Structure 1
């Protein structure tokens, strides 16, 4: 028979799922912790338990998103880039201004293999928030580990949008051609 503590944890995780699935945007761990009256670390643990049960929760730089699988008419492409840290905002803004969504950033590390971080940047406001958060923290870009070379999975409505993004990244000297 489950203890009261187990029951309250299960109830809280159900509430987290409900909250995330009804949200139109990301929700921070801090916000969920406040709503559930627990610490942020408890939320992180709950999210990990939910992910272990194959709940489609995505951790992004803006917070948690519930991402159920559903057929999409959108297209995506992996684009390889190389630039300095100072060009990060230019790169991301170029992508979202042209109708792309920056789903993630990936690097191929010589020891660890592929490393991926979810971004889910849809618009200029989200890009600005991300770059401000990066600037105000002591964090560095993943691409620092690979001399600036990294990949983004970009999603858009049509392949023509992806083609335009690639062309503009090339004109800006950001597209990596090896």
Structure 2
């Protein structure tokens, strides 16, 4: 059943409102269905919204609007890690189980320079979904391009939470120091 297409700026405003009010990531396909356009049109809309400095992040779970209440204090840290691909899920679970959000992964590629990919996982379920998506799409982890060496931006509500997560990485042999 096809509904009426929402056009141009009105559609982008509709998408922005959906993202701002959603408690979960919204996929391009979900947004396409709700606006009666193709997923590719949504990708273009998201690009235009980002060009207007809207804080939208594409994650493996879908698009997220990243505004935070002004009273929300977030602490971030960049950590260096190394492990083979089969240990990626273990590393991510170790972090989220300590109350940390894994924001992204970064590598230094010999040709392309710094490459960063959004991860945005905060729960074991989100880690499971991320790892499953890697497997079903037969994608590679970025760290496979650098023999397992990579950086993560991690965030948490306190420095103490970050410290405990980093210590767990150290104890489990993931941390590069």
**What is the CA-CA distance between 1:92 and the residue it aligns to?**
0.3
- CA distance in 2 between counterparts of 1:100 and 1:55 reads 24
**Alignment match, 1:170:** 170
Residues 79-118 of structure 1 deviation map (CA, whole Å, 9 limit, x = unaligned)? 1000010101100000000110101111111221111111
**Alignment match, 1:50:** 49
CA RMSD, aligned part only? 1.5
- CA distance in 2 between counterparts of 1:23 and 1:175 reads 34
Report SS of the residue matched to 1:117: strand
| Structure 1 segment 131-142 matched on structure 2, within 5 A | 131-142=131-142
Residues 108-137 of structure 1 deviation map (CA, whole Å, 9 limit, x = unaligned)? 112211111111101000000111111111
| Structure 1 segment 62-73 matched on structure 2, within 5 A | 62-68=61-67, 71=70, 72-73=72-73
TM-score, L = length of structure 2? 0.92
Report SS of the residue matched to 2:23: coil
- CA distance in 2 between counterparts of 1:31 and 1:69 reads 23
- CA distance in 1 between counterparts of 2:136 and 2:91 reads 19
- CA distance in 1 between counterparts of 2:17 and 2:110 reads 40
1:157 and 2:148 equivalent?
A: no
TM-score, L = length of structure 1? 0.92
Report SS of the residue matched to 1:76: strand
**Alignment match, 2:77:** 77
| Structure 1 segment 1-178 matched on structure 2, within 5 A | 8-68=7-67, 71=70, 72-177=72-177
Structure 1 unmatched runs, 5+: none
**What is the CA-CA distance between 1:68 and the residue it aligns to?**
2.4
- CA distance in 2 between counterparts of 1:157 and 1:47 reads 28
Report SS of the residue matched to 2:45: helix
- CA distance in 1 between counterparts of 2:167 and 2:106 reads 20
**What is the CA-CA distance between 1:70 and the residue it aligns to?**
5.3
Segments ≥4 residues shifted beyond 6 Å = none
Paired residues in the alignment total 172
- CA distance in 1 between counterparts of 2:18 and 2:158 reads 31
- CA distance in 2 between counterparts of 1:173 and 1:112 reads 28
